[in-house]
Amino acid sequence: MSFRIHPVNPTEAVEQTFFRIQQERMVDVPILNLALSVEAIDFQRWQGHWLGMVVTPWCMSLLLLPGSTENWIAASENKRRFVKFPAGDFAFLGSDEAELGEFQSCSLFSPMDKFATQFEATMTARASLIGLLTTPKPTPAPLKTGKDADTPALSRRRFFALR
């Protein structure tokens, strides 16, 4: 694998790479959603590296690219590693492409047949990235009042009684 640091936002390189992949490897693949095109979305610095989304006619993935040598944890090509985000741990696969060098991806959607427009796919990618970077709020326990104050909010017996 070739290691390359991306000192500036890699949006253009990501789009070039995935457009080339589409032209070379995905041309006749039947799962392509022809309503969609390659788009790199909202790349930003995250723990010294670059995190963003890529939407293609065949998948939507989180991408992680090295922004420095510090704290970069390599994953061999097609090997998985887990990355901790505020929303939880996500599995990323190691990859290598000529334009990007080493990078890691986490597929969120494939195939992309659920999306009718590029706008829908882009908005889903943005919402997914926001969700990934947001710490979930704990769900408050329901308040107990009246005769139920001394019993659990939802016991197994009460659950089945609701049906």
**pLDDT tens profile 1-31:** 788 999 999 999 999 999 999 999 999 899 9
Name the one residue in this structure whose structure tokens are 């049906």: 163
DSSP string for residues in 115-156 = -SSHHHHHHHHHHHHHHHTSPPPPPPPPPP-GGGGGS-TT-H
* Phi, psi values for residue 141, rounded to 5°: -70, 140
**pLDDT tens profile 73-93:** 999 988 999 999 999 999 999
Q: Are strands 60-65 and 49-55 parallel, antiparallel or unpaired?
A: antiparallel
Whole-angstrom distance, CA of residue 80 vs CA of residue 103: 12
DSSP H helical segments within 53-117, as ranges?
A: none
Please state the pTM of the whole predicted model: 0.82
Superfamily of domain 11-132: [NiFe]-hydrogenase assembly chaperone, HybE (3.30.1460.40)
